[in-house]
Amino acid sequence: MKKKGIFFSTDALIALIIIILVLIVTVPMTFYSNIKTEVHSDLMIVLSTLTVGEIDTPQIRSMISSGEITNPNNTIIEQIGIFYVTNKTKAKIIADEVISNLDVNENIGIWFENQMITSKNTTPFENASNIQIERQVISGLIQGNSTTGFAARAYLSSDVQTDFFYFGGYVGDGNLSTIVSYNGSIISAELELAINNNFSVFVNGINIGNFSSSASDVIPSKYNLSTNNFQSGDNLIEIKGKNLYISGGFVKIIYMGFSENFDTQYKFPGINGLINLYDGFYNENLNSLDIFLKLNTSYEVFLNIGNKTVYKNYTNGEESINIGNSYLSSILNYQEISNKTIPIRLGISNSSYISNFSLNVHTFSVTDLSGSMADSCNGGSFWCCLSSGNFCSTQSTCNSCGGTWEQKITLAKQANNAFIDGILNSSGNKVGLAGYKTTASNNDFHNLSTNNISLKAEVNSWTASGRTCICCGINKGVQGINFESGAGVLEALVVMSDGEATDQCSQQGTGNAKTDAIQAACDAYLDHNIKVYTVGFGSDADENTLQQIADCGNGTYYYGDTSEIVELYETIAEDILKASFSEQTINITGTFNETIIYPESHINITSSSSSIIPSGVVLTLEKIFDNSTTGTFSIPENSTVLSAKVVSYSGSKWTNNLKLNGINIYNLSQYGSTYTSLGDPYVIDLPLQYIQQNNIIELNTALSPTNISAGSSYNKIIYKIQKNSSSYSSISPYFDGCTWTIEFEDNTNATIKIPADYNGSSVCYYTSSMQAYDSNDAMQEAVYKLLKVLDLNSNNKLDIKLTEGNLQITSNEISGIPFVWSTEAQIRIWT
């Protein structure tokens, strides 16, 4: 018991000792933690009172004499503040000059915002347990002193204009020209064309370069033009070459000056060769039309507006023809064609004047002769076939065992024979044959020929065996067509298969039999302009691959069961023949007299609507389609749409239908089903009332109202918006400039000195990977803010290509007003 008492008393003593020790330790800490001093307040007063001109040290004298300190009347704290935003090293030098002279026991330091300028201490601030702070906001208002700041305004020069001069949906054939008009000083000129042959460009009669054809008639190329020979006013741009045609394109110029409203006049392109124009024009609230044509044609020329022929005649040499409004209004229903893009067609009406007006067809039938194509029994009883003696390899045993006798190779031969007859039914056409198995051998090949007996003999010799090398068949067909390549010929392959591709081609080398087959079709069309039609034969056909082959070969995919394959081949033959007559391209062999339309020709369009006179800066934006059928574009916030157009690279087809946000804007079939007599606008205007913040365009092309296909993925939307494109800096300590690296929406970069004569070392960035500028430089800040405005989708890439010439900067030096970077200076002491 006693032991227990002692034990507990000891516990109490230990607990008490612990409490006392804790108190002994904490009481002095509490006692000493409350430091009491006025030195930080005094130092702030000293720094706010003493001017740099008064503090007579060699270092500061040197700074004043060298101009680093521009105003000796600045207080020390102001001067530290100025250096804080311009050169922190100098700020520390000044602060050290002051603080080093002070005899102080406390830890003391000078801070601006949260950055320490200098300190005099024995223990680091990070270890401080007690801090006292004297604060003061630094601005030019300190004790009535004033300082000097700068403000800058950056804006796009409102007299920088971008204008487009469009060619039609199809402009041919021969030497082509247009008139480019502007008033001012040209900055740049560019051609974007889908053009069939190499060409030379002449500006005002002077050759400024030779250029290559575009990749295809639906894939345009861009060509930069020298501006040396351009002049303010009218400029004749001539595009010369052999049998040229343009299936869409424009001349784009950027110039300093003022823009005229060209929308009230449609200008015909100049054509010297064979007049063959498919185009269109837009009108709004049409009041009147009058047409001026300057022609020189010994052949009868017709001009159709919509589906109405408004002119049909030939000329006796060079003639000017005026077609007045009274006549036009009697033919055309203005109300019907108002507020629309109207197709116009200018061509030679009687082709009998010209030899061989239509296209011949050279086509190869590329047929699957693999083992699966053999005539065979489908679905017969296994045991029955086993006991039949020939494994159901004849129609009679197959049928007796309950199977269906499929005559694939037999039907394929019949289909090929029908195809041969169909194509050779028109004189001048030729058919070739290429059967393929594991390879495409000459044993199953027949050259292009008009001899249907020889061709059918080859077909009837075919047997089925081996695997399925579709690319081999395509390559063999291309080889056969190219062996006898001829101008003015529609070239096509009809590729049939009943299964999946199994064998690859080193010529394509994609490493996969199916993609080799697709690539072979792409090569055929892109390299040789040979269209590839495909036929899936039977239920085992690889329809996906065959569809892709047809897509890349600019053809059509057809599917046929065994019961309908013969009729299907007849249909394909008809479609190919129709295409040869329906496309816009006219190919001439033999001699003919040149026909000319001069580029002064035009249509004056008078509307009752008042045109918008844009105030502020007008920006022209281009947005390429998302794919071959759909384009999207958005209107930036705080902007007004002035115009919006879709340009369509329809190649030798017609732009058939366009919808804006689901609303039908353009439908060619409303003017008729014979498209060769209708125009084909390259530019389709979008009525402003249907344009929303975010917009979807759907577009297709066609050879006829029922033969519809996708357009070009190179189609684009060109729209003009009015936007407040200026920005102001805040009042800043200095006004210097920078060398800017700017990234544009097309992922190109430009390095631009702003201002143009800037020769300093500052570098600034407005790119997707870096945004950097000095906010204390008024000019840099103003430019940065302007670039933000011009970054319409806020992805740190500019939507508008800038040049130094575009960007204008003005500055105002503001004296007697504090610059507004007001910051808090602090004197801190700590223990």
Partner 1 sequence: MLINKRAQGWGTDLIIGFIIFILAILFFYNYSFNYSNETEEIIELLSYKGDYIGDSIMSEGTPIDWSEGNVQKIGILTENKINQTKLEEFYNLVQTDYNSTKVIFNTKYDYYFFLTNPMNIGGGQVDGIGKPGVTKDTINATNLLRITRFTIYENKPVTAYIYVFE
Using CB under 8 A, list all residues that contact partner 1.
1-2, 4-5, 7-9, 11-13, 15-16, 20, 23, 27, 36-39, 42-43, 45-46, 48-50, 54-56, 98, 101-106
Rg (CA), the chain: 41
For the chain, the first-to-last Cα distance in angstroms comes to 54
Query: What tokens were used for 273?
Result: 């060769």
Minimum separation from the CB atom of position 98 to partner 1 (A): 5
CB atoms within 10 A of CB 72: 15
**594-612: string of b/e by CB count within 10 Å (b at 16+)?**
ebbbbbebbbebebeeeee
Minimum separation from the CB atom of position 729 to partner 1 (A): 35
Strand-pair partners of 771: 766
Closer CB to partner 1, residue 5 or residue 67?
A: 5
Whether the Cβ atoms of residue 481 and residue 473 lie closer than 8 Å to each other: no
Q: Can you tell me which residue has the tokens 């490493």?
A: 511
Q: What secondary structure letter does DSSP report for 729?
A: P
Closer CB to partner 1, residue 12 or residue 487?
A: 12
In angstroms, the Cα distances linking 771 to 153, 737, 766, 798 are 20, 16, 5, 13
Closer CB to partner 1, residue 143 or residue 335?
A: 143
Closer CB to partner 1, residue 49 or residue 539?
A: 49
Minimum separation from the CB atom of position 6 to partner 1 (A): 8
Query: What tokens were used for 119?
Result: 């300190």
Q: Which of 788, 379, 301 is nearest to 593 (CA)?
A: 301
Closer CB to partner 1, residue 144 or residue 590?
A: 144
Residue type, 694: N
CA distance 293 to 306: 18
Minimum separation from the CB atom of position 75 to partner 1 (A): 11
Minimum separation from the CB atom of position 116 to partner 1 (A): 19
Closer CB to partner 1, residue 160 or residue 829?
A: 829
514-520 LR contacts (CB < 8 Å, sep 24+): 514/470, 514/542, 514/545, 516/470, 516/471, 517/470, 517/471, 517/474, 517/545, 517/549, 518/545, 518/548, 518/549, 518/552, 519/471, 519/552, 520/470, 520/471, 520/474, 520/475, 520/478, 520/549
Closer CB to partner 1, residue 40 or residue 467?
A: 40
Closer CB to partner 1, residue 46 or residue 521?
A: 46
CB-based contacts of 369, cutoff 8 Å, min separation 6: 409, 435, 436, 437, 444, 462, 463, 464, 465, 466
Interstrand relation of 763-766 and 738-743 (parallel, antiparallel or unpaired): parallel
Closer CB to partner 1, residue 2 or residue 335?
A: 2
Backbone angles phi, psi at 682, to 5 degrees: -80, -35
CB atoms within 10 A of CB 416: 26
CA distance 583 to 490: 10
Minimum separation from the CB atom of position 617 to partner 1 (A): 53
Closer CB to partner 1, residue 80 or residue 180?
A: 80
Closer CB to partner 1, residue 4 or residue 706?
A: 4
